[in-house]
Amino acid sequence: MKSLSVVALGAALVAAAAFAPAAQAAKCVMAGGSATGLTQDIAKSLATMALNQSISNYGGKPSGKVAVSCDSNVILATCTAKQRVCK
């Protein structure tokens, strides 16, 4: 009977270790911010500021690089900044 409980405890520990990374990954989200400016540099700066505000509001820690993509129109440029954030 004692060996059965040891086997059950071992199986429970293995199962917990297998699901621990999945539970930790579930605490991460993709934060983002977008902005429009007269130039692409202004739009990038404003989008990065919006991203930082989004991260601050979420209360998490940034993880990885910031991805910035821009779309330039004739008059205005629009940029979006995204970054992974984990709690």
Residue 79 and residue 39: Cα distance in Å, rounded? 10
List, run by run, the mean pLDDT of 10-residue segments along the chain (87 residues): 38 42 68 96 97 95 95 91 96
Residue 2: per-residue pLDDT: 43
Kindly list the domain boundaries of the chain, sorted by start residue. 2-86
∠10-14-18 over CA atoms, to 5°?
170
Residue 74: per-residue pLDDT: 83
* DSSP strand pairing (61-72 vs 77-86): antiparallel
CATH number of 2-86: 3.30.110
Residue 73: per-residue pLDDT: 83
Residue 58: per-residue pLDDT: 94
